[in-house]
Structure 1
Amino acid sequence: MRSVIVTGAAQGLGRAHALALAEAGARLVLNDLDADALADVAARTGAVAVPGDIADWDFAAALVDRAVAAHGRLDALVNNAGLARDRMVVNLAEDEWDAVMRVNLKGTAAPLRHAAAHWRARAKAGEDVAARVVNTTSGAGLMGSVGQASYSAAKAGIAALTVVAAAELARYGVTVNAIAPSARTAMTETVFADAMRAPDTGFDAMAPDNVSPLVVWLAGADSGDVTGRVFEVSGGAVSVADGWQHGETRDAGRRWHPDELGPVVRDLLSRAPAPAAVYGA
């Protein structure tokens, strides 16, 4: 049985992931700030509950240590904790910006850093490591979302962190992937209250449970050949999100003059694919 940490596990997607992972036989260590709700999920899954601030660097280290102490090892980390404070750019407040960056981006980096150190030590000791990280980005982080500048920036940072960590940790037997889910959670329940519900089948396409099977697979042993990728998942649909790519180039072989660049840039743009629309634009 694989030992798995799930952050933000008290409700929404994290709760769904915990239940699905437990059903698949994983031994869980669950984290969230909401100790009471977390205890309920832990009771349902037989998990170890470790309430606390996942964006605290020392706490994140202690969480990894707790998983190793409880189960003898850590096999997978599911980074799900998140926070949104929606504002138009012109109305951004510094404290809200800092909170969103701290919970989403630092709250992903901190446990990832300490889990990576655990796996590197095991690999250097000669162990055959087959570890997995599943981060949570967002369509807002991939395409942008009007009114969500801080959230989009933090989630874009998670996507970039994912590909960097995948490249750095491959030598230790660690894969790092990310999901960009669409689901009805505490952060989105007003928007998605009745969206995408199929009345003829009763299939609730925005239920968080629909996202969890991909998390279970990515956290499992069978996904060892998949790393550095971002998957969009919603309802019964899953797709690979293709990130920034190098485009066509025009090289003058010397320094450009500003007056020359207008036609060059417009020609390049005419040959490039149109960017995906920003959500809400």
Structure 2
Amino acid sequence: MENFAVIDLGSNSARLTISEIEDDGTYKVIKQLKEMVRLSEDMGADQNLQQPAIERTITALKKFRDEYSKLPNLKVRAIATAATRMAKNQKKFLKQVADEVAGLQLEVIPGTLEAHYDFVGVINTLPVSNCVIMDTGGGSCELILVQNGKATNLISLPVGAVNLTERFFKNGTDKIKAEDLFWETTFVNQLFNDVWWLRKGQNLPIVALGGSNRTLAKIKRKESDFRHFENIHGFRMSVASVNQVYAEVISKDLAGRKKIPGLTKERADIIAGGMTPIVTILRFLDSDRVVFSQNGVREGILLEHVAQLQEEGKIGQRS
């Protein structure tokens, strides 16, 4: 039996998933943690990670280390995505992490690999064969066109909930201004227009990942009084329902958004900017529904690791 820990350090949150992989090829998740670190906060035009954000991140990584360090037969895979990818002080940050978190080696992965792991996590856990996968994070947005169960095209766009909010809501997010929202929507729509293959996804459902997108589902499920409202894997929403939730979010000031059931207070300042891409792509592709996935990068990494162990003969095939 192997304990396999995956750390996913994004622009807004840091996440840990620990799984037990048995000798017969079966596995189960035994621990999941999430910390809102807002690593990309105030990176600005010079694209440097700021010290307060770095300190929050290191504190979170130390908390993760305390969770997995005592486990036997342990393997750790720690990846960093958009914020660290873009940071000009990336090497200094990675060294600081290694120095302060017991030699933890963060692997900075390209956006295309992040999109690939999203695809692996989705295609193996949801019954979808033709769709557009969209993972809106804090600093990037991954898009994958899936045709007949294969990822035919994928891309990572350098926009997400945090950097879109900082770029277009410069006067703050207490009250959402129509002008700010208009320019953000126009910008995102143009980005999609520049992805030549994206229109091949016309009329296909969107499979949605990422904190902002999942919040849509949580708000709707809370509104509908689902007992386990956070269990959104496979949950479907119509475009009308998405629009209704989005309209509610952008109509409220910051204090009002913090009171919306299903929306965490820590995300209230970036949620309007973060939901705009999915609302925009639904119109861009004339999609009729969204299917939500709780599985993405970390699950994709786990599944590929299990497959590699099986290929090497270290564990058996799942029956």
TM-score (norm 1): 0.31
Structure whose residues are more often strand by fraction = 2
Q: Larger Cα Rg: Structure 1 or Structure 2?
A: 1
Q: Which of the pair has the greater relative contact order for Cα pairs under 8 Å at 6+ separation?
A: 2
